[in-house]
């Protein structure tokens, strides 16, 4: 049930992407009792669509087509589908903003810990390294080195990788919240 057909059509640098779902239950949460205009996409559909767009140049994407089996939607529901999908991604942008606020806090804590550990390392080298000798010195030097390496790597990973990924995901959701969406049955 996780299979989704994808087609890419590029014409004069403009990209159209088609997603063919096997059923409406694959696209919309079957446990959501809301009318179609207020229904949630399944986590699978949301992740599938957004992760596919992640591999594309967002500026070149003009629209997407959502394909469903024939007669799975009434004509009125098919007309509501594009706005429903855009509404879903618009709503999810607020969740991404909350995640980013938490992530920024964690980044600040990580930076403070890296700074603290670097200060401990400098203090250790300046004050204690000259007085310690033998296996104790090797053990403490190794411990201080590992602590610094871990905290600095964690901080580096946040600012270089995680933060960029969060920004990219938000851009994708913004694109999906305003993109041209067509429905294709058959």
Q: 48-96 pLDDT, tens per residue? A: 999 999 989 999 999 999 999 998 888 898 999 999 999 999 999 998 8
Do 159 and 106 contact (CB within 8 A), yes or no?
Answer: no
CA 63, chain centre distance (Å): 20
Domain ranges in the chain are: 5-93+178-185, 97-168
Dump strand ranges (E) for the chain.
5-11, 14-20, 61-68, 180-185
Rounded CA gap, 78 and 124, in Å?
68
Q: Could you report the per-residue pLDDT of 111-141, keeping only the tens digit for each?
A: 888 888 888 888 877 776 667 677 877 787 7
The pTM for the full model equals 0.76
């Amino acid at each position: 049930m996780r299979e989704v057909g994808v087609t890419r059509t590029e014409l004069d640098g403009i990209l159209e992407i088609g997603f063919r779902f096997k059923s409406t239950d694959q696209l919309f949460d079957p446990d959501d009792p809301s009318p179609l205009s207020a229904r949630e996409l399944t986590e699978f559909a949301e992740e599938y669509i957004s992760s596919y767009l992640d591999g594309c140049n967002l500026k070149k994407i003009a629209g997407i087509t959502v394909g469903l089996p024939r007669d799975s939607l009434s004509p009125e529901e098919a007309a509501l589908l594009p706005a429903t999908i855009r509404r879903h991604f618009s709503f999810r942008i607020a969740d991404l903003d909350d995640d980013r606020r938490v992530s920024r806090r964690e980044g600040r804590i990580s930076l403070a810990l890296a700074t603290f550990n670097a200060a401990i390392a400098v203090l250790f080298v300046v004050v204690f390294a000259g007085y310690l000798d033998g296996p104790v010195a090797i053990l403490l030097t190794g411990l201080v080195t590992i602590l610094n390496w871990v905290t600095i790597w964690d901080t580096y990973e946040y600012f270089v990788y995680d933060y960029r990924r969060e920004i990219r995901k938000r851009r994708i959701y913004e694109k999906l919240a305003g993109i041209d969406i067509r429905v294709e049955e058959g």
